Amino acid sequence: MIKKVLTIAGSDSGGCAGIQADIKSISACGGFATSVITAITSQNTLGVTYIEELSLKSIETQIDAVLSDIGADAVKTGMVASTDIIKLIAEKIAEYKIINYVFDPVMIATSGDTLLKSDATESLKKYLLPLSMLITPNIPEAEILSNIKINSVETIKEAAKIIHSQGAKNVLIKGGHADKDEYSTDILYDGKTFKEFKDLRIDTTNTHGTGCTYSAAIATNLAREYNLYDAVSLSKKYITESLKYGVDMDIGAGSGPVNHFYMLNKTV
């Protein structure tokens, strides 16, 4: 039986990130994707030009429509731009007793555009973080959540401990923004031990939607009943291959997408 994965996030008109990237990632990893759109963004590979949040009523009824009928074996959240939206989603995750909840704390787009209102960071910590089975910040997001500067493996681990102390069951800090060495290393902390997930760093500008894609893949693999370590390991391989096979994708003049369906483009 196919596993169902709900993504709650913003829509990216350029198709690189957000809901669009999540649906591609979930589908490529073997899940059935459902979606709740929190905001409509006007964006392309060069940046975000406009954001319009959907009403709380629209978001609430979308969640209820999906979860009351189809259900979800895992849920992931991406762009949730305001405190009111954050509180509503937290209430619904609790109401529907979601266990496999992957929280991608989207704050800044690949282009550098801000996707989270300034007063909402504390709301993320207060309402969503304690409900998450896993939170997946990149280094800039982990710096904001932990309030420390990250410039080494030691400070990544320190930040992970701080974020875990705020209520997250597991913390995965992604190393894509670290110094450009040969490998990209992500560090998982479960409150007791650290585990590293390392793969070759891909030299590419086509990185738009990488975080969305990665977290959606993890949620899908959790839904498919892999344990957390294996879910992250499989998803790390998936995002690395998506980056590798997306190097030559000629889409847009800026930061293009990864190749979510790279397996269809491999030559035998």
- CATH number of the structural domain spanning residue 15: 3.40.1190.20
In a domain? residue 193: no
Residue 176: inside a domain: no
Name the strands in the sheet holding 48-53, side by side, starting at the edge strand that comes first in the sequence: 48-53, 31-43, 3-12, 74-77, 101-103, 134-135, 171-173, 183-189, 194-200
**pLDDT for residue 178:** 67
The pTM for the full model equals 0.96
> Does residue 139 lie within any of the structural domains?
no
pLDDT over 80 at 36, yes or no:
yes
Enclosing domain of residue 80: 3-134+206-264
pLDDT tens, 39-93?
A: 999 999 999 999 999 999 999 999 999 999 999 999 999 999 899 999 999 999 9
Whether 166 maps to a domain, the answer reads: no
Residues labelled catalytic: 174, 207, 209-212
Give the count of domains, the chain: 1
Residue 268 pLDDT > 70, yes or no? no
In a domain, 149, yes or no: no
pLDDT of residue 113: 74
> Is the residue at 120 inside a domain?
yes
What does the mean pLDDT of the chain come to? Answer: 94
Within-domain flag for 47: yes
Distance in angstroms (rounded) separating the CA atoms of residues 95 and 111: 35
Q: What pLDDT is recorded for position 154?
A: 95
Q: Is residue 221 part of a domain?
A: yes
